[in-house]
Structure 1
Amino acid sequence: MNVLIAVLQMQTSPGEPAENLAAIARAARAAAAFGADLLVTPEMSLTGYAIGTDDIARLAEPRSGAMIGAVQTIAEETGVAVVAGFPEREGGAVFNAAALVAPGAEPIVYRKGHLYGDAERAAFAPSAAPPAVFAFRGFRVGMLICYDVEFPEMVRSLALQGAELVIVPTALPAGAASRRVSKSVIPARALENHVFVAYAGLCGDERGTALEGGSAIVGPDGEDLARAGAAEALLFARVEPGRYDEARAENPYLADRRPDLYRLAD
C-alpha cells in the first residue's frame, strides 16, 4: 500500500485567486503526469497569506464557495486530490483553513487552531475543534496548518488516533527561526510519532513580506525524502509505511508511552 505525494512550494499572486488557481492547476497536471495521488499546496495558497485583514475578509468564502469549487474541478480533471489553503467564512467568523479535495468526494476541511502573531489574530478566529484523522486511499491522514505543527501535542494527538501521514500547509516568514522549524522541528515530529509529514510552504515575497519556503516530505524515521530550496519547486515522494517497521521497532515511542507520568497543566 502506497501513495505518491507531490508538494508544491509556490509564490502566490497576492489577492488574486484566479492566478493562484491557474498555478495550482499547472502543478496538478504536472503531478498527474508523474502518477501522483495527492498534491499539497501551502497555507492560504488560493489567496496569498500576507495580504492584510481587509483583503482576507473580502476574499473569504464558505467551503461551498467558488474557490473550493474550482479546486474540485482541478481534482476531477487531473485525477489528483488537492490540498489548498483558503480563508473560510462561516457566519461572522473567518478561519485560516485548508481543504483536501479529492475527485468525487466532499471536501475535508481543517481550520488552524494556533494563530501566529497579531496579524493572524486580527484576521482569523481560531478553531475550537481538535485535529481529527480521516481516510485517504487506504491511509490514515491528519491535517494541521503551519504554527500548529510546532506544538508537539497536535501531532501526537493525530498519531494516537492512528495517523500515518500528517499534511501541513505552511507560510514561514523568512529567517533563521523558520529554517530551524523546517529543518529541525519537522523531522523531529515525524520521528517521534513515526508518521510521514508533507510540509508545503510559500516562498518569495508577498506585499513586502519575505517567505522562507522550507517545504519538505519527511519519513517516519525523521529523514528527508524530498526538500526544497528557497525557490518554487514541486517535490515528490512515495509514502510506504511498511518500509519503516524497523525504525518503529528501534524507537517504539508510542508503545512505550507512560501517560501516568505526564502531569499536564494549563
Structure 2
Amino acid sequence: MHVAVVQRASDIDSAANRDSIAAQLAALGPGDDLDLVVLPEAAMHDFGAPDHDLAAVAEPLDGPFVQLLADEARRIGATVVAGMFERTDGLPFNTLVVVGPDGELRRTYRKIHLYDSFGYKESDRMAAGEVEPVVVEIAGRPVGLMTCYDLRFPELARGLVDAGAEILVVPAAWVAGDRKLEHWRTLLTARAIENTVHVVAAGQGGDRYTGHSLVADPWGSIVDEADLAPAIIRATLAAADLAHARDVNPSLSNRRIRHRS
C-alpha cells in the first residue's frame, strides 16, 4: 500500500481550510500511484478557543468538506481519510470520514475517547461515538481507525487488530506541551510494536500542536517523520513486512489473556 500523510495547520475559517487543503493536495496526483491519503483530525476546522462554538460550524456528511475530499479522492485516485466535526441535533461528533477513489463516502468513525485531560474537556463540546472498533478495507488491506486521544487506550488498538486490522491510521490534533512529543512518538511506536502493525499518524502542525506526523513499521521503527511545518510524507506499507514481523515475533498468537465479552 502506498500512502501519503498530510500535515497541516487548520484555521477556524472552514472555507479557507478547504482552499488550503486543495492547494496542498495539488502536489499529489494519479501519477503518484497512491492508495491512501491521510489528513489530520479537525482538518475541516480547527478546534479554536475553548469557547468557540463547534456545533455552529459542524457540517453534515454531504457538506462542502466531504465534497472537497470526494473531488480530491477522484482526482488523485486514492482513498482519503480526514477529520471533521459532524453536525447532529446536539453536540457534534468528532468524525473521521473515509472517501473512496470513486468519491463515495465509504465509512465514518466517530471518536470514542474524548480529550478530557491535561486541563481540557472535549466532552463539553463534542459527543462521543459508539464503542465499536471500525475497520475498513483499503486497497485490499484492513485498516483500523483511531483519532488522537484514542492513542492512549491500547485496548482500542488491540480491538481493531482483533477485528483484522493490519494498519492503524491515527489522524490527530495532538496539543503541544511538556513531554507531549515524547508521548506522541512513544505511544505510536508502542501501538505498532505490541500489535505488529503499521501505524500511519497525521498530525496538526503549527504553534498549537505537536506536528511530527509519522509512519511506523511493525517493528516500531519510524519510516519517515515530519517536523512542525506543513508537509507531505510518503511510505510504502508492504504486507510481506507485516507477515515477516508476525512470524519472527508472534506475540499476538502467544497471548494467554484475551478479552471476553
TM-score under structure 2 length normalisation = 0.91
Corresponding residue to 1:164 among 166, 173, 197:
166
* Matched position secondary structure for 2:179: helix
- CA offsets, 1:214-249, max 9 Å, x none? 210111111111111122211100010212333222
Residue 224 of structure 2 is matched in structure 1 by 226
* Matched position secondary structure for 1:186: helix
Corresponding residue to 1:18 among 9, 15, 20:
15
Corresponding residue to 1:143 among 132, 142, 145:
145
Residue 49 of structure 1 is matched in structure 2 by 47
Paired residues, what number? 256
CA drift of 1:51 comes to: 4.5
- Whichever structure has more helix as a proportion of its residues is 1
**Unaligned segments of structure 1, at least 5 residues:** none
* Matched position secondary structure for 1:245: helix
Residue 203 of structure 2 is matched in structure 1 by 201
Whether the 8 Å CA contact 2:34–2:76 is kept in 1: the answer is no
Equivalent positions of 1:1-266 (< 5 A) are: 3-12=1-10, 14-32=11-29, 33-104=31-102, 105-117=104-116, 118-205=120-207, 210-259=208-257
Tell me: CA distance 1:30–1:160, structure 2 relative to 1, closer, same or farther (3 Å). same
CA drift of 1:108 comes to: 1.3
* Matched position secondary structure for 1:84: strand
Counterpart Cα distance in 2 of 1:51 and 1:5:
32
Whether the 8 Å CA contact 2:198–2:242 is kept in 1: the answer is no
Whether the 8 Å CA contact 2:55–2:91 is kept in 1: the answer is no
CA drift of 1:263 comes to: 9.3
The one-letter amino acid paired with 1:50 is G
Counterpart Cα distance in 1 of 2:164 and 2:260:
23
Tell me: CA distance 1:229–1:54, structure 2 relative to 1, closer, same or farther (3 Å). closer
Whether the 8 Å CA contact 1:53–1:122 is kept in 2: the answer is no
Q: Which structure 1 residue ranges, 4+ long, deviate > 6 Å from structure 2?
A: none
Whether the 8 Å CA contact 1:31–1:80 is kept in 2: the answer is no
* Matched position secondary structure for 1:181: helix
Counterpart Cα distance in 2 of 1:81 and 1:22:
19
The one-letter amino acid paired with 2:46 is G
- CA offsets, 1:9-30, max 9 Å, x none? 1112x22122222222233332
Counterpart Cα distance in 1 of 2:144 and 2:132:
11
**Unaligned segments of structure 2, at least 5 residues:** none
CA drift of 1:122 comes to: 1.0
- Whichever structure has more strand as a proportion of its residues is 1
The one-letter amino acid paired with 2:164 is G
Counterpart Cα distance in 1 of 2:150 and 2:139:
24
Identity of aligned residues (%): 34
User: Which piece of structure 1 moves more, 92-101 or 32-41?
Assistant: 32-41
Whether the 8 Å CA contact 1:43–1:49 is kept in 2: the answer is no
Whether the 8 Å CA contact 1:15–1:51 is kept in 2: the answer is no
